[in-house]
Chains A and B, each alone.
Chain A
């Protein structure tokens, strides 16, 4: 049994009057890829954003319940969300590199967290991150060209490299492949599989095939409820809940 990384108990999220997430209980394991699937608006992205308190930036959002990371309540008053986000990296749906050079994109996180003492240290971190982001070979000759000049798939891998440059413990991915073509998607999926060795990865995806391919555990959300959570193989072959079955077989969604 692998170690539990995130543990959520009775999590409710309100956007103003809209009750977006209802009594979610889930446990996310370390060194595992956990996929959140479900139809649009079911609350899977909302829950993902709860895990690194990205929802704090939305004024009308209210989170109740308890989420612990390694046993510590991340919504505790004394927890600094900035520190949390350094620990829990995030990759977004749309590739969003900073309008800076490839190098600066990756180096930004380590710089602000003081991870590198010297320029050489930083170079090492940047190279290591780009290698782990499986993009080093493509950008090693253009480190000082703008990151926005890369192709969509390269940009997304750059964003992953940027996220892992700060040495997070968990990597959250919000539909990382939805803006990419099949080739780029398969590169990212290989990368996710690789990252699993070191990180706990949580991925939100619209593609059930993708969830089936990359994840070990899958959570199915529907209308704000966590309907079913279990081993990916079990969810896709013998779902317990009829809603899960309907969604997987394409009847709803």
Chain B
């Protein structure tokens, strides 16, 4: 041997162009795969973040609730004319009237039927019941005047949280003179303050017109699409259909354009401006009174008196010009209510506390009174029934199939059916529940018993499949060891196999239960979507569950239910996370090595 001429089939480890190229290609492929993986995880994380973020953002509005403190005179005549001091009689008193009287006394300037009704809506309709309870607990209060914290209505609460925009001050430079004439007032300022307001309003009109033009342009696109379709239509039928759609889009477009032009013309007109529902409200707050501008020109304004100031005002330097973010037509809170709430706020009569009520109350049609506790308890009862039915049956079935059943066509058939059962849409289980559980067995509608039975059917395949998998994963050496010392098959199963499989079985069960906890569809079929105010006390009481509560609240028109829905979703998710955490802990804790 003289020298080594070849480094063999694979070439040198250190150099060689051909191998270097191949290596680079392989490394790039690996790097790409890694990048795809990271991208996928980032996307998933982003989606999760967006979901959680939006829900929590929504739910933030339900974190606090507002109270309005008002003096209320507990007139004995209205509550307990015979001075019995009996709580039962007190509870029958006219506390609704007392609440209204308290509001009327606080705001005597609010007159007229509709304005009064708006005033009453500042506090919750449930506040009177709380007052009744408070007085029933303390009968000695009858006849006195007390300061009571009335629960604010959903509108008040939303306004305080800024859901209808804020009340923004506009700059004032001059001195204000107000001439009162009954409900009307004429305002003048020494500087061009009202001209400034007028300019702001005109700008807003231009903005609104722009938005309308954008919508009109969209309709115009639709028009041209339909025109092409008519030109290319294959038969008269399709042409007629497109023609009708074209007409609709054209009318819509023209209406939008006309409206935009009207707004622009109004903005271009330098003369006086009428303030109606469709423009943002402008208030003047001066000398303890509230004036709402109704007509405005560069030099001065006419106003409606919401709360009369103390006498006529002349040459006043201290005054406020306020404007809302939204026109009256676009917000639930009326001008009168804004005035009332702002007055209460500046009198420190409004406070806001953590919303414990949400976690302790049942459902209600009034968002400020609605709570999640009823649905939580309903979910608990339903899950209890589900667990008690599905767990023993599922584990027994899994043990039989895995440890005792002979392998033949029949058991194969059963196995296939169980696996298919796991994929059956849940609404089908709901129909089954309606027909069998309610129709045949006569279980009461809307009861956790019925819901739990249906959920148990739905959870069974999950439990059986998970339990079979973990039982099959117990090493055969353990079974042999037990059989080898003379244990019977039942002893082997219950002394050795089942304890080893239990963590896995529990994990599967909890995952299945978590799925059932989030299930709505089958419960719709068996009537668990009902409006149930009372907290269920057993498995045969009418009840609803968390996801159904979310579904119902999301459907309610009141805006405050948005926040309640978000909060309910958070509660549901906390439960799901807790259940999954328990599953993980169980798996970690009881996992044994062999």
Interface set of A (CB-CB < 8 Å, partner B): 52, 54, 57, 59, 82-83, 85-87, 89-92, 94, 96-99, 108-109, 112-113, 148, 159, 162-163, 165-166
Tell whether, in the assembled complex, residue B496 and residue A92 are in contact, meaning their CB atoms are under 8 Å apart: no
- With most chain A CB atoms within 10 A of its CB, the pick from B486, B488, B594 is B486
Tell whether, in the assembled complex, residue B593 and residue A99 are in contact, meaning their CB atoms are under 8 Å apart: yes
Tell whether, in the assembled complex, residue A82 and residue B488 are in contact, meaning their CB atoms are under 8 Å apart: yes
A165 and B485 CA atoms in complex are apart in Å by 9
Q: How many whole Å from B300's CB to the nearest CB in chain A? A: 92
Q: Which residues of A contact B482 (CB under 8 A)?
A: 98, 108
B475-511 contact mask (Cβ, 8 Å, vs A): 1 or 0: 1011111111111100100011000100000000000
Within 8 A of A (CB), among B433-490: 475, 477-488
A89 and B483 CA atoms in complex are apart in Å by 9
Tell whether, in the assembled complex, residue A85 and residue B480 are in contact, meaning their CB atoms are under 8 Å apart: no
Contact of A86 among B481, B486, B495, B593 (CB under 8 A): B486
Q: How many whole Å from A196's CB to the nearest CB in chain B? A: 20
B592 at the interface (CB under 8 A from A): yes
B311 at the interface (CB under 8 A from A): no
Q: Which residues of A contact B593 (CB under 8 A)?
A: 99, 148
Q: Which residues of B contact A57 (CB under 8 A)?
A: 479-480, 483
B407 at the interface (CB under 8 A from A): yes
Contact of B484 among A54, A99, A113 (CB under 8 A): A54
Tell whether, in the assembled complex, residue A112 and residue B484 are in contact, meaning their CB atoms are under 8 Å apart: no
Pairs A-B, 6 closest by C-beta atoms: A86-B486, A96-B477, A109-B485, A90-B484, A85-B486, A99-B592
Measured CB to CB, the nearest residue on chain B to A162 is B485
Q: Which residues of A contact B500 (CB under 8 A)?
A: 99
A34 and B407 CA atoms in complex are apart in Å by 36
A92 and B479 CA atoms in complex are apart in Å by 12
Tell whether, in the assembled complex, residue A108 and residue B484 are in contact, meaning their CB atoms are under 8 Å apart: no
Q: Which residues of A contact B495 (CB under 8 A)?
A: 108, 112
Tell whether, in the assembled complex, residue B594 and residue A163 are in contact, meaning their CB atoms are under 8 Å apart: no
Tell whether, in the assembled complex, residue A163 and residue B485 are in contact, meaning their CB atoms are under 8 Å apart: yes
Q: Which residues of A contact B475 (CB under 8 A)?
A: 96
A163 and B480 CA atoms in complex are apart in Å by 12
B406 at the interface (CB under 8 A from A): yes
Q: Which residues of B contact A159 (CB under 8 A)?
A: 481
Contact of A85 among B407, B479, B485, B594 (CB under 8 A): B485
Interface set of B (CB-CB < 8 Å, partner A): 406-407, 475, 477-488, 491, 495-496, 500, 592-594
Q: How many whole Å from B310's CB to the nearest CB in chain A? A: 87
A91 and B484 CA atoms in complex are apart in Å by 8
Q: How many whole Å from A157's CB to the nearest CB in chain B? A: 14
Q: How many whole Å from A129's CB to the nearest CB in chain B? A: 11
Q: How many whole Å from A78's CB to the nearest CB in chain B? A: 16
Task: List, sorted by A's number, 25 A–B pairs whose CB atoms are closer than 8 Å.
Answer: A54-B480, A54-B483, A57-B479, A59-B407, A82-B487, A85-B483, A85-B486, A86-B485, A90-B484, A91-B484, A92-B477, A96-B478, A96-B594, A98-B482, A98-B496, A99-B594, A108-B487, A108-B495, A112-B485, A112-B487, A112-B495, A148-B594, A162-B481, A163-B485, A165-B485
- Interface on chain A toward B: helix, strand, loop, or mixed SS? helix
Known contacts: A59-B407, A98-B478, A112-B491. The answer to whether A166 contacts B594 by CB under 8 A is no
A148 and B593 CA atoms in complex are apart in Å by 8
A163 and B477 CA atoms in complex are apart in Å by 14
Q: Which residues of B contact A109 (CB under 8 A)?
A: 485-487
Tell whether, in the assembled complex, residue A108 and residue B594 are in contact, meaning their CB atoms are under 8 Å apart: no
A166 and B486 CA atoms in complex are apart in Å by 8
A212 and B90 CA atoms in complex are apart in Å by 102
Measured CB to CB, the nearest residue on chain B to A90 is B484
Measured CB to CB, the nearest residue on chain A to B488 is A82
Q: Which residues of B contact A82 (CB under 8 A)?
A: 486-488
Known contacts: A99-B592, A148-B593, A148-B594. The answer to whether A92 contacts B480 by CB under 8 A is yes
> Beyond the given A96-B594, A166-B486, could you list 19 further A-B residue pairs with CB under 8 A, ordered by the A residue number?
A57-B480, A59-B406, A86-B485, A87-B486, A89-B485, A89-B486, A90-B480, A91-B484, A96-B477, A96-B480, A96-B481, A98-B481, A98-B482, A99-B478, A99-B592, A108-B495, A109-B486, A112-B491, A162-B485
Q: Which residues of B contact A97 (CB under 8 A)?
A: 481
A148 and B591 CA atoms in complex are apart in Å by 13
Q: How many whole Å from A116's CB to the nearest CB in chain B? A: 14
Q: How many whole Å from A163's CB to the nearest CB in chain B? A: 6
